[in-house]
C-alpha cells in the first residue's frame, strides 16, 4: 500500500505540493487529474525521488521513501514512465529490456561476462510480449514511432516488477485511436499484473471510462477524491477544472 | 545526451558491427594480431617501424581508454592525459628510486593511478558535461604544475633525467629494442581485449544507458555516480599503461606527457577514428601518428595541416573515419531500421 502523508514541496513562494495526504490501495487504479500547474508531475517527482519533499512521508508498505534517491525507490518497487518517453535512443528494444533486467538483478556492474546474460532473457521477453513490442525487438529505440516509444517507456518501468507503477500522461502527444489503444493497454496491464497503477491524464473521456478512483489536484492541494460519478458531481471540481462538459448532467 | 550523440543515435542502422561476437572470437583475433605483430621484426628490420608500433601501442591504449569515457559513457574528459603522465612519471620514479622488478613497478604504478583517479573521479563525475570537461582539465593542469614545480622529485621542466633502469625479468630485456616492441604489442593487445570485454559486458551496456539518458538510468535502479566513477578509474588504468609504455620507450618522463595537449591529442584521435566503433580510436591513432610523422617532415606548419584535417572530419564527414566506413557498410547491408 502506498500512503502519502502531509507531503509538501515549495519552489520559492510557490507551493507545488501542499500538505497532500492520500492512500493508494494495493492493486488499485487511480487517475490524477487537474489543470496545468496543479502539481501533478511534481507529485510524481516527489514519490519517485526526482525531487526531495520539504516535509511529509511517502510510505510504501510502511517504509518511508521520502528523500531517498531514485535508484533506492525503484528497488523498493515504485516504477514510473514519463510524460515525454524517456528511453535509451541508441539501444534496440531488446537491449533496453535486457539491460533494465540486469540493473534490477543488481548485475549492472558485471564486467567478467558478456551482455546479454542468459538469466535476464525470460523477464525481458515477458515484458516485450506484454507491451506488444516483441516484433520490434531489433528496432533501435530512436527509430520507433511515438506510441511505441511510450510503450517502451512503460515496458522499462514494468520489467522491473514494480509494486506501484506511476504513468505520467501515458497518452500525451497521441492521436485519438492511438490514445485508446494505449489506455486499453494500461488497463490490461493493471488487470493482469495486479499492481497498483496511478496515472496522470488530461483526457476526461479516458479518465471517466477506466479509472475506478480519481484524485483531483489544484494548486498543489487535493481538491477532491472519489469515484468518477462523485467527481463528476463535485461542484468544486466542475468549477475549477471540468467545466460543464463532463459533469453528471452532461454524462447522462 | 549531447546533440551530436543524439544525432548519431538517430542514424540507422547503428554502427556496432560484430558487437555480439563472443569473447573467445575476440581472444582468437587478438592472438592472431599479436602473432602477426610479434613476428614482424623477423621480416622487417626497420627500427623506425618498430618505434612507430611502440608509439601506436602507447597512444592506442590511451585513446581507446578515453573512448570508454567519451564514446561509451558520454563523458568528454579534457584531462585524461593526466593519467598518461602519471603512468610515465609513476613508473619512472619507482624504477629510478626503488630498483623494483619491472612487473612489480608496473603493478605499483597502476595502484597509485587507481588511488589518484578515484579521488579525482569522485569529484569530477558528479559534474555534468562541460563542467566535467573543465574540471578534469583543471586537475590535469594541477598535476602538470606539480610536476614542474616539484623539481627535487620530478626533475621539473627537464623531466626524469638519467634514464629509467630496465632490469631483465623472466628473460625479457626491455633495453633491447625488439623485446620492448614485443612487450608493448602484448600490453596493447591485452589492454584492448580487456577494454573490449568492458564494452561488451553488462557494465558496458550500463554505460551506454548512462550516455543516452542518465536520468532514466537512475530510474531503473542504476547508481549513475558509481558507474561513472568505476569507468573513470578503469579508463585511467589503461591510459596509465600507455604512459608506462611511453616512459619505457623514451627511457624517461617529461612534463609534456602530463600537459593538456596530450588530452587534446586523445580527443583529436577519437575525432579522427570515430567514437561509435571499438577500434575507431586505434584507427585514429594510426592516422594521427602517420600524419604527425609525414607532415612534420614536410612543413613546420604542422598545426595548420592538422587543423584542416580536423575540419575535414568535423564538417565534411561529420564523424570519424571508422564511424563513416562502418555506417556506410551497415546501411548497404541491412537497409533501414533493423539490426540483425
pLDDT digits (tens, 9 = 90+) for A44-57: 999 999 999 999 99
**By the CB < 8 Å criterion, does A138 face chain B?**
yes
Question: What would you measure as the largest C-alpha separation in chain A, in angstroms?
Answer: 65
For each of chain B's 340 residues, which pLDDT tens digit applies? 444 444 444 444 454 544 556 888 999 999 999 999 999 888 888 899 999 999 999 999 999 999 999 999 999 999 999 999 999 999 999 999 998 999 999 999 999 999 999 999 999 999 988 999 999 999 999 999 999 999 999 999 999 988 899 899 999 999 999 999 999 999 999 999 999 999 999 999 999 999 999 999 999 999 999 999 999 999 999 999 999 999 999 999 999 999 999 999 999 999 999 998 999 999 999 999 998 888 888 888 878 888 888 788 778 777 888 888 888 888 887 765 555 4
The contact set of B with A (CB < 8 A) is 1, 5-6, 8-10, 12-14, 22-23, 197-198, 200-206, 208-209, 211-213, 215-223, 226-227, 230, 336-340
Distance CA B273, CA A111 (A): 25
pLDDT, tens digit, for every residue of A160-171?
999 999 999 998
Q: Which residues in chain B touch residue A104, judged by CB atoms under 8 angstroms apart?
A: 220-221
DSSP strand pairing (A29-33 vs A196-200): parallel
For residues B275-311, b (16+ Cβ closer than 10 Å) or e, as one string?
A: bbbbbbbbbbbbbbbebbeebeeeeeeeeebbeebee
Q: Which residues in chain A touch residue B336, judged by CB atoms under 8 angstroms apart?
A: 143
A139, three cell numbers: 528496432
A169, three cell numbers: 500522461
Distance CA B86, CA B255 (A): 10
Measured between CB atoms, which of B5, B203, B219 is closest to A108? B203
Residues B69, B70, B76, B82, Cα dihedral to 10°: 50
Residues B143, B147, B150, B151, Cα dihedral to 10°: 180
Among candidate residues B60, B207, B15, B4, the one with its CA nearest the CA of residue B125: B207
pLDDT of B336 reads: 54
SS3 state of residue A92: strand
pLDDT of B60 reads: 97
Which residues between 37 and 56 in chain A have a beta carbon less than 8 angstroms from any beta carbon of chain B?
Answer: 48, 50
**If you search the block for the grid coordinates 537497409, which residue do you land on?**
B335
pLDDT of B20 reads: 56
Q: Which residues in chain A touch residue B4, judged by CB atoms under 8 angstroms apart?
A: none
pLDDT of B12 reads: 42
Predicted TM-score (pTM) of this structure: 0.90
**By the CB < 8 Å criterion, does A109 face chain B?**
yes
Sheet holding A196-200, edge to edge: A78-81, A164-168, A196-200, A29-33, A213-218, A221-226
Q: What is the ipTM of this complex?
A: 0.89
Task: Classify residue A175 by burial, with Cβ atoms within 10 Å: 0-12, 13-18, 19+.
Answer: exposed
> At a CB cut-off of 8 Å and minimum separation 6, what does B188 contact?
B56, B57, B60, B61, B245
A·B CB contacts under 8 A: 128
Distance CA B239, CA A75 (A): 35
**By the CB < 8 Å criterion, does A112 face chain B?**
yes
> What would the CATH number be for the domain defined by A2-251?
3.40.50.300
- What is the H or E stretch that residue A8 is in? strand A2-11
Domain boundaries, chain A: 2-251
Q: Which residues in chain A touch residue B209, judged by CB atoms under 8 angstroms apart?
A: 88, 91, 99, 103
B278, three cell numbers: 571499438
DSSP string over B1-44:
--HHHHHHHHSSS-S-TTTT--HHHHHHHHHHHHHHHHHHHHH-
pLDDT of B340 reads: 43
Among candidate residues B293, B319, B322, B329, the one with its CA nearest the CA of residue B9: B319
Task: Classify residue A62 by burial, with Cβ atoms within 10 Å: 0-12, 13-18, 19+.
Answer: exposed
SS3 state of residue A166: strand
CB contact under 8 A, B203 and A109: yes
| Mean pLDDT of all residues in A99-117 | 93
A113, three cell numbers: 561476462
CB contact under 8 A, B10 and A142: yes
| Mean pLDDT of all residues in A77-97 | 95
pLDDT over 90 at A104, yes or no: yes
Comparing A180-189, A220-229, B220-229, B256-265, which segment has the lowest mean pLDDT? A180-189
CA angle B57, B59, B60 (to 5 degrees): 60
B38, three cell numbers: 610479434
**By the CB < 8 Å criterion, does A176 face chain B?**
no
Q: Which residues in chain A touch residue B335, judged by CB atoms under 8 angstroms apart?
A: none
Amino acid at each position: 500500500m502506498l500512503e502519502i502523508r502531509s507531503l509538501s514541496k515549495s519552489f520559492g513562494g510557490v507551493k507545488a505540493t501542499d500538505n497532500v495526504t492520500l492512500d493508494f490501495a494495493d492493486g488499485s487504479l487511480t487517475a490524477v487529474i487537474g489543470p496545468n500547474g496543479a502539481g501533478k508531475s511534481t507529485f510524481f517527482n516527489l514519490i519517485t525521488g526526482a525531487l526531495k519533499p520539504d516535509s511529509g512521508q511517502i510510505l510504501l508498505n510502511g517504509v518511508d521513501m521520502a528523500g531517498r534517491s531514485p535508484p533506492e525507490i525503484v528497488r523498493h518497487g515504485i516504477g514510473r514512465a514519463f510524460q515525454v518517453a524517456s528511453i535509451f535512443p541508441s539501444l534496440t528494444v531488446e537491449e533496453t529490456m535486457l539491460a533494465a533486467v540486469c540493473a534490477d538483478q543488481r548485475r549492472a556492474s558485471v564486467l567478467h561476462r558478456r551482455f546479454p546474460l542468459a538469466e535476464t532473457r525470460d523477464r525481458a521477453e515477458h515484458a516485450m510480449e506484454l507491451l506488444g513490442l516483441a516484433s520490434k525487438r531489433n528496432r533501435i529505440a530512436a527509430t520507433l514511432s511515438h506510441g511505441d516509444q511510450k510503450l517502451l517507456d512503460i515496458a522499462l518501468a514494468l520489467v522491473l516488477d514494480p509494486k506501484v507503477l506511476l504513468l505520467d500522461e501515458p497518452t500525451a502527444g497521441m492521436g485519438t485511436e492511438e490514445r485508446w489503444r494505449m489506455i486499453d493497454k494500461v488497463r490490461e496491464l493493471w488487470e493482469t499484473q495486479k499492481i497498483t497503477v496511478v496515472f496522470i491524464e488530461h483526457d476526461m473521456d479516458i479518465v471517466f471510462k477506466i479509472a475506478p478512483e480519481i484524485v483531483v489536484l489544484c494548486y498543489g492541494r487535493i481538491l477532491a477524491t472519489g469515484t468518477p460519478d462523485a467527481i463528476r458531481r463535485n461542484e468544486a471540481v466542475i468549477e475549477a477544472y471540468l467545466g460543464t462538459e463532463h459533469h453528471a448532467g452532461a454524462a447522462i | 545526451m549531447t546533440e551530436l550523440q543524439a544525432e548519431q543515435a538517430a542514424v540507422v542502422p547503428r554502427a556496432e558491427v560484430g558487437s555480439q561476437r563472443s569473447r573467445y572470437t575476440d581472444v582468437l583475433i587478438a592472438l592472431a594480431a599479436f602473432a602477426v605483430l610479434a613476428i614482424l621484426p623477423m621480416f622487417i628490420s626497420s627500427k623506425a617501424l618498430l618505434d612507430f608500433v611502440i608509439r601506436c601501442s602507447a597512444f592506442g591504449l590511451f585513446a581507446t581508454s578515453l573512448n570508454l569515457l567519451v564514446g561509451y559513457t558520454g563523458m568528454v574528459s579534457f584531462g585524461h592525459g593526466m593519467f598518461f603522465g602519471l603512468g610515465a612519471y609513476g613508473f619512472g620514479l619507482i624504477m629510478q628510486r626503488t630498483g623494483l622488478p619491472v612487473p612489480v613497478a608496473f603493478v605499483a604504478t597502476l595502484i597509485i593511478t587507481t588511488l589518484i583517479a578515484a579521488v579525482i573521479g569522485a569529484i569530477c563525475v558528479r559534474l555534468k558535461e562541460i563542467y566535467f570537461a573543465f574540471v578534469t582539465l583543471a586537475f590535469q593542469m594541477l598535476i602538470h604544475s606539480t610536476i614542474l614545480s616539484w623539481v627535487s622529485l620530478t626533475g621539473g621542466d627537464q623531466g626524469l633525467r638519467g634514464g629509467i633502469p630496465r632490469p631483465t625479468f623472466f628473460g625479457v630485456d626491455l633495453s633491447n629494442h625488439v623485446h620492448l616492441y614485443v612487450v608493448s604489442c602484448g600490453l596493447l593487445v591485452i589492454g584492448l581485449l580487456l577494454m573490449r570485454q568492458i564494452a561488451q559486458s553488462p557494465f558496458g551496456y550500463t554505460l551506454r544507458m548512462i550516455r543516452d539518458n542518465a536520468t532514466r538510468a537512475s530510474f531503473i535502479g542504476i547508481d549513475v555516480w558509481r558507474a561513472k566513477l568505476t569507468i573513470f578509474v578503469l579508463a585511467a588504468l589503461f591510459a596509465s599503461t600507455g604512459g608506462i609504455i611511453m616512459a619505457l620507450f623514451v627511457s624517461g618522463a617529461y612534463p609534456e606527457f602530463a600537459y593538456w595537449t596530450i588530452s587534446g591529442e586523445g580527443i583529436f584521435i577519437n575525432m579522427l577514428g570515430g567514437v561509435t566503433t571499438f577500434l575507431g580510436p586505434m584507427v585514429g591513432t594510426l592516422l594521427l601518428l602517420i600524419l604527425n610523422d609525414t607532415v612534420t617532415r614536410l612543413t613546420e606548419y604542422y598545426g595548420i595541416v592538422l587543423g584542416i584535417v580536423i575540419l575535414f572530419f568535423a564538417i565534411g564527414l561529420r564523424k570519424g573515419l571508422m564511424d563513416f566506413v562502418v555506417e556506410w557498410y551497415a546501411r548497404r547491408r541491412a537497409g533501414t531500421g533493423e539490426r540483425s
